[in-house]
Amino acid sequence: MGILKKLSQIKDNSSSKKSAIQIDDFEKTKVTFFQDGYGSSKGAMGNPTILKTSLENVFEDYKEKSRKNKEQQDELKKPFIDKTKKFETEVHKRETAKEIKIDNINALNKDIDTINFEISDVKNDPNKYGIDADKKPKAQFFIGLFIILPLTIYLMVFYISASYSAFFKQFLDSDIMTAIFDGNAFSKALKDGWLEAVFVVSLPFIFMGLGYLIHMYQKETKFSGVTKILGILIITFIFDALLAFQIEKKIYDFEKTPSSADFDFQIAFSKPEFWTIIFAGFIVYIIWGLVFDFIMKEYENFDKIKSFIRTHKENRRNLLEKKQNFKNEISSIDNELAEINGKIKETQSTIDGFIFEEKKYLLFHTEYLKGWFLAIQKEIHLPHKEKNDLIDKCEKTNLAHIARLGLNDSSYENLVYEK
């Protein structure tokens, strides 16, 4: 078969007339295939077996010619090369984005490690983190709480008993201790009426409320806070003095004779029992207020550290959430990279191999068959029926050849042969 030699004679001689020359070469090639098919059929007497071999030789010769035609292959591969470059650009973009996100994760890890360290270290040295608090506030807080609980019970008992004695109790003896501490004061007040019971129970909370105000006023400016605290202490002392006066008056009235003078503050101030009642309540109230203030300060110190830790844990939670988002984004980028790299591998296999122009070849193949069939019609002398049978056999041979090579799939423009 002389197709390769004949095709090699077709060359481009002028770049300015390239399109016209290509059209001219295409037509010459078609003629060449037609003539070769005509001559081969004439020589083989249209034999279908020889046609099968001839078609295979024609195909292999044209395929090899296409493989060696560098200019043609470069032109056919150019879209694939451009596509690969685009894919590589996308890979670079995603790898850059991935590196940025990895750097962000590393920065977040450092921040998380710092937060974890500060959470564990703040109790050892709170001043280091700008917290004006004792290093060990918890122990002092519970010690103060242990002290204030019995003091609170004492104040409750004292003021319930003292208020009942001062306002509701009818004295049957002059025992001062019975006047101050009456174990049945609440039940007796409740027996007298629910208003009396509410009154004697509420009075201790008034004094404890005043103690709470002392603690709050200490947070104000120096002069204003001290003035208010002194005012509260004076009011409390006067209140205690009035309770003591009422109790002492009832005792005095129980003991007095017809010649005794009426009870007044001058008489009250001269009696030690009067001062005993005052200081049994007022001094304990002062102690309760100081311990309460101490407990609240220790709790505030403790709460500052807890607040610091709580804020840091919230920040850590936010950082961990951001870190997970970055990980999810990196995972998505990895999937995209895998997909793009798969496409790059696919296009690169095309670039590394060679592209066979199926549609173009089929046009030349058709010309070859035309020549083959025309030679049967004109050059082979057989009866009409036998000649038609021979042409049918040659057509079946051709169809089998086309199917075997996969050239009958019209959805493909070109065939790609890998290395």
pLDDT for 113 equals: 92
C-alpha 335: how far from chain center:
19
Specify whether the CB–CB gap between 62 and 364 falls below 8 A: yes
pLDDT for 318 equals: 92
CA distance 306 to 299: 10
For every residue of 255-299, DSSP letters joined together read H--TTSPPP-HHHHHT-HHHHHHHHHHHHHHHHHHHHHHHHHHHH
pLDDT for 305 equals: 75
Structure tokens at 329: 């984004």
With H, G, I as helix, E, B as strand and everything else as coil, classify residue 355: strand
DSSP state of 113: H
CA distance 330 to 356: 40
Nearest to 415 by CA among 348, 353, 344: 353
Give the CA distances from residue 160 to residues 171, 283, 290, 380, in Å, rounded to whole numbers and listed in that order: 16, 17, 22, 140
CA distance 291 to 293: 5
Give the start-to-end residue ranges of the domains of the chain.
3-90+357-417, 136-297
Structure tokens at 309: 């830790």
Query: Tokens 């020589």 correspond to what residue?
Result: 43
Grouped pLDDT means (10 residues each) for the chain, 419 residues: 39 41 68 84 84 84 73 70 82 90 92 88 76 62 78 77 69 56 67 74 76 72 74 79 75 64 70 74 79 76 75 89 92 89 76 68 82 84 83 87 74 52
Alpha helix stretches (DSSP H) within 127-271:
137-167, 176-180, 185-192, 194-217, 222-255, 265-269
Q: Report CA torsion sign: 155, 160, 164, 167.
A: positive
Query: Tokens 């030699």 correspond to what residue?
Result: 5
Amino acid present at 405: L
pLDDT for 17 equals: 42
Q: 417 — phi, psi (to 5°)?
A: -110, 120
Instruction: Say whether pTM exceeds 0.85.
Output: no
CA distance 359 to 407: 9
pLDDT for 351 equals: 67
CA distance 376 to 319: 85
For every residue of 35-52, DSSP letters joined together read HHHHHHHHHHTT-HHHHH
